[in-house]
């Protein structure tokens, strides 16, 4: 595909699970709007014939047996070689005509990730629980890792080759969207965002996102990423909580010793000492792991720098 007089290999990545009603339209939309792109449809154990439809319409159809969107993304990023990657859900809710604008934005920066912030076309496009949860989780990530996107859980994004080949992809389910954003923030990669319409699913098609269970998984992933990417801050907080608890438990013992010279509540004193020891150990772990994290970040940065900007 020629973008600004340079040939780029563009790959459209479509992870799918039971999207037989929409996958044909999704494929035709991207084939029409990006005629030079290779369109990959990865089926994730669908039971409604999604894979067969993908083969029939002419997509590059493949299967991923490990259940979960994160597992599919890991496989796609590992298998597919391109200069520009567009990842989109196969549910027919995203506008394929935006793809050209997405690529132009990626190259104009140049950026390593461009997110599509969703603007619902009607009230049925976005369930209230999903909308509220998205705002909460996006705001939480912004506070911890930095502000880059207003719609973290959007399933429509564009990536550079150097982003994709430096992304470790540790998640297994829908929390992969959070990991994608945090990876860019942690390495301070240039990124941007555009807005685009978001349609309601067609009749008979149901969302695979479970509001509460997937929300809890995303929260758990955020906690894990804080521990992994901000270990000094994480373990300092743990140390502070343990240190405060030790003072609350051992304070009266110290006061009594100062007044009488006796320690009548020895078990309490031992407990307070043990908790304070754990606080110091936690703080030491934070310093050590912060050094390890810096080395991991440098390794990811070097993998990123192996490839040119789009």
Of the listed ranges 65-74, 197-206, 236-245, the one predicted with least confidence: 197-206
The structural domain count of the chain equals 2
Residue ranges making up the domain that contains 202: 2-229
Instruction: Say yes or no to pLDDT of 79 above 90.
Output: yes
- pLDDT of 29 > 90? The answer is yes
Same domain, 250 and 199: no
Domain contains 310: no
In a domain, 261, yes or no: yes
User: Are 221 and 141 in the same domain?
Assistant: yes
Residue 211: per-residue pLDDT: 60
Q: How confident is the model at residue 5 (pLDDT cuts 50, 70, 90)?
A: very low
Q: Are residues 109 and 12 in the same domain?
A: yes
Question: Based on the domain organization, do 101 and 154 belong to the same domain?
Answer: yes
45, pLDDT greater than 80: yes
pLDDT > 80? residue 156: yes
Q: Provide the pLDDT for residue 96.
A: 94
Question: What is the reported pLDDT for 206?
Answer: 60
Q: Do 249 and 182 sit in the same domain of this protein? A: no
From 206, 229, 252, give the residue that closes a domain: 229
Q: What is the pLDDT of residue 6?
A: 57
Q: Which residue has the higher pLDDT, 190 or 128?
A: 190
pLDDT beyond 70 at 130: no
- Alpha-carbon distance of 227 to 234, in angstroms, equals 6
Q: What is the pLDDT of residue 2?
A: 54
Considering the domain architecture, whether residues 216 and 169 belong to the same structural domain is answered as: yes
Of 229, 259, 291, which residue sits at a domain end? Answer: 229
Are 124 and 211 within one domain? Answer: yes
pLDDT tens, residue by residue, 207-263: 656 666 766 777 887 888 888 888 999 999 999 999 999 999 988 888 887 888 777
Q: Would residue 260 count as lying in a domain?
A: yes
The residue from 229, 255, 289 where one domain ends is: 229
Q: Tell me, yes or no, whether 25 lies in a domain.
A: yes
% of the chain surpassing 70 pLDDT: 91
Question: What is the tens place of the pLDDT at every residue in 96-105?
Answer: 999 999 999 9
87 vs 146, more confident: 87
For the chain, give the mean pLDDT: 87
Quick one: average pLDDT of 32-58?
94
Asked whether residue 32 falls in the same domain as residue 174, the answer is yes
Per-residue confidence band for 280, with pLDDT thresholds at 50, 70 and 90: very high
Q: Is residue 34 over pLDDT 80?
A: yes
Average pLDDT over residues 117-122: 82
User: 160 and 68: one domain?
Assistant: yes
């Amino acid at each position: 595909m020629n973008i600004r007089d340079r040939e780029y290999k563009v790959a459209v990545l479509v992870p799918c699970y039971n999207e037989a009603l929409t996958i044909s339209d999704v494929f035709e939309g991207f084939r029409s709007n990006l005629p030079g792109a290779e369109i990959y449809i990865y089926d994730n154990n669908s039971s409604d014939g999604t894979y067969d439809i993908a083969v029939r319409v002419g997509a590059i159809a493949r299967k991923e047996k490990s259940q979960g969107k994160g597992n599919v993304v890991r496989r796609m990023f590992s298998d597919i070689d391109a200069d520009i990657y567009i990842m989109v859900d196969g549910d027919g809710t995203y506008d394929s005509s935006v793809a050209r604008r997405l690529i132009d934005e990626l190259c104009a920066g140049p950026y390593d990730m461009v997110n599509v912030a969703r603007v619902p076309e009607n009230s049925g496009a976005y369930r209230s629980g999903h909308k509220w949860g998205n705002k909460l989780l996006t705001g939480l990530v912004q506070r911890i890792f930095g502000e880059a996107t207003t719609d973290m859980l959007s399933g429509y994004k564009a990536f550079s080759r150097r982003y994709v080949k430096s992304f470790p992809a540790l998640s297994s389910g829908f929390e992969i969207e959070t990991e994608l954003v945090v990876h860019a923030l942690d390495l301070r990669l240039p990124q941007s965002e555009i807005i685009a319409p978001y349609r309601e699913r067609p009749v008979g098609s149901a969302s695979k996102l479970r509001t509460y269970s997937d929300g809890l998984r995303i929260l758990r992933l955020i906690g894990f990423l804080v521990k992994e990417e901000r270990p000094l801050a994480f373990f300092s907080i743990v140390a502070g909580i343990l240190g405060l608890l030790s003072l609350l438990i051992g304070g009266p013992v110290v006061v009594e010793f100062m007044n009488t010279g006796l320690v009548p509540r020895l078990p309490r004193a031992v407990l307070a000492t043990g908790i304070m020891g754990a606080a110091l150990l936690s703080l030491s772990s934070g310093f050590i792991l912060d050094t390890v994290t810096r080395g991991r970040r440098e390794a990811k940065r070097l993998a990123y720098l192996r490839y040119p900007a789009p």
